């Protein structure tokens, strides 16, 4: 297959950006026109107004996020770093579109939310891949480098536990701690869907008489341990990771889910104490439906700000090179290739089996998504 010459790639970059902007403007004009026609001379209620306002913010969010993804696709010069970045950038438009659809069609909200939460776990693991890949590029033998560092003790609240030995054990357990959430989150989502179908989930309520409370507790324990492993990993390698400003990137990834969770808890508390009650539900069917609608509306507004933060902290500018190779199509396909994740899961399983059988194994830290080679090959 013939490779496109550099001049062709430059020409492509000149016309693709105006084309995307034109498509975006046309889509907005069409959607706005359809909304005007739909609600012309019709008394619009609170629910419909909230959906229209949320839709405007959703379109702005999608534009900012897609523009950042497109820029990485056009300047795809470091696949081992940009591949996880592009996956991370998809989180914001997924959250925004999911909340907007749930605001309009509350009956499908729980199904969309479970898919969204699964992607959030996937995003956290890709952030871990991003960090480990950067270290592997900068430090060829990270294991030996770690073994030479001073022993790091556990952080609060696990400071009483025996420390993980610097080197292979630390890398393996930190990575496994993040990976377990990526596996547990889809399982919890599947159980959530089953509980909803049999009528024992009770979305929008917190109480020990429904399944939601227990699933939320299990999910948050898993997520907290994943966050702990990420924090420990960063504490050990703070200086080495400082050039990529990981704190800002981490906050962009994790602060979203953290704020949304406590936001949902606060809204559920408002329902519990009667601030949101059955006396005034506007066009919603119940107070719980009002709570879910309020959550979805706020998310649509918040995601626009988060999209701007993602665009800044996961910028494409550090990856611009004068002589750029590859094509936009190749980078797009690489973004959806999850073979690196599946290989990593199998590697972790094999490593755990080897540890339990007292077999020696090779270091697990390898650049994900570059050549698909397993660590021991």
DSSP state of 317: G
| 357: its two tokens | 């059988």
DSSP 6-61: HHHHHHHHHHHHHHHHHHHHHHHHHHHHHHHHHHTTS---HHHHHHHHHHHHHHHH
Contacts of 154-161 with CB under 8 Å at 24 or more apart are: 154/232, 155/228, 155/231, 155/232, 155/235, 158/228
pLDDT of residue 304: 92
pLDDT of residue 360: 47
Whether the CB-CB separation of 262 and 206 falls below 8 Å is answered with no
Q: Find tokens 């107070």 and name the residue.
A: 287
Q: Find tokens 């430090």 and name the residue.
A: 139
Please give the Cα distance from 280 to 222 (Å, whole number): 37
What pTM was computed for the model? 0.78
Whether the CB-CB separation of 213 and 206 falls below 8 Å is answered with yes
pLDDT in tens, 293-317: 888 888 899 899 999 999 999 999 8
pLDDT of residue 17: 65
Please give the Cα distance from 375 to 366 (Å, whole number): 6
| 255: its two tokens | 């602060």
Domains defined for the chain, CATH in brackets: 43-356 (1.20.1070)
In sequence order, the 6+-apart residues with CB closer than 8 A to the CB of 65 are: 89, 90, 92, 93, 307, 310, 311
| 363: its two tokens | 């270091």
In sign, the C-alpha dihedral spanning 124, 64, 259, 313 is: positive
- 250 three-class SS: helix
pLDDT in tens, 190-216: 888 888 788 776 665 566 667 778 888
pLDDT of residue 373: 41
In sequence order, the 6+-apart residues with CB closer than 8 A to the CB of 228 are: 155, 158, 177
Rg of the chain (C-alpha set): 23
Task: Name the phi and psi angles at 103, rounded to 5.
Answer: -65, -35
pLDDT of residue 314: 93
Please give the Cα distance from 170 to 187 (Å, whole number): 26
The stretches in the chain having pLDDT less than 70 are 1-17, 20, 32, 35-45, 201-209, 277-286, 322-329, 351-377
| 147: its two tokens | 């073994």
């Amino acid at each position: 297959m013939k490779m496109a010459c550099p001049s062709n790639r430059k020409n492509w970059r000149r016309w693709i950006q105006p084309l995307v902007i034109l498509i975006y403007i046309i889509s907005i004009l069409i959607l706005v026109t359809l909304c005007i026609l739909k609600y012309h001379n019709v008394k619009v209620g609170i629910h419909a107004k909230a959906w229209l306002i949320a839709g405007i913010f959703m379109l702005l969010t999608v534009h900012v996020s897609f523009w950042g993804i497109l820029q990485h696709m056009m300047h795809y010069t470091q696949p081992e770093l940009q591949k996880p970045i592009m996956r991370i950038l998809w989180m914001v438009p997924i959250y925004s579109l999911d909340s907007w659809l749930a605001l309009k069609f509350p009956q499908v909200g729980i199904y969309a939310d479970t898919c969204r939460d699964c992607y959030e776990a996937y995003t956290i693991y890709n952030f871990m891949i991003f960090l480990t890949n950067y270290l592997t590029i900068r430090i060829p033998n990270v294991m030996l480098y770690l073994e030479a560092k001073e022993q790091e003790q556990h952080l609060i609240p696990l400071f009483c536990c025996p420390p993980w030995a610097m080197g292979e054990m630390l890398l393996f357990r930190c990575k496994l701690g993040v990976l377990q959430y990526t596996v547990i989150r889809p399982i919890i989502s599947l159980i959530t869907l089953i509980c909803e179908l049999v009528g024992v989930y009770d979305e929008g309520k917190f109480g020990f008489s429904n399944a939601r409370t227990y699933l939320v507790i299990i999910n948050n324990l898993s997520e907290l341990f994943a966050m702990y492993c990420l924090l420990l990993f960063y504490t050990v390698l703070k200086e080495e990771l400082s050039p990529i400003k990981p704190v800002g990137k981490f906050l962009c990834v994790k602060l979203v889910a953290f704020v949304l969770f406590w936001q949902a808890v606060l809204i559920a508390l408002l329902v519990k104490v009667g601030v949101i009650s059955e006396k005034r539900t506007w066009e919603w069917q119940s107070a719980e439906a009002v709570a879910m609608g309020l959550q979805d509306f706020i998310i649509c507004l918040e995601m626009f700000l988060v999209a701007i933060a993602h665009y800044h902290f996961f910028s494409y500018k550090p990856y611009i090179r004068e002589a750029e190779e590859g094509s936009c199509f190749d980078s797009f396909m690489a973004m959806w290739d999850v073979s690196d994740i599946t290989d990593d899961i199998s590697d972790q399983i094999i490593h755990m089996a080897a540890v339990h059988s007292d077999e020696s194994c090779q270091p697990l830290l390898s650049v994900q998504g570059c050549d698909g080679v397993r660590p021991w090959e």
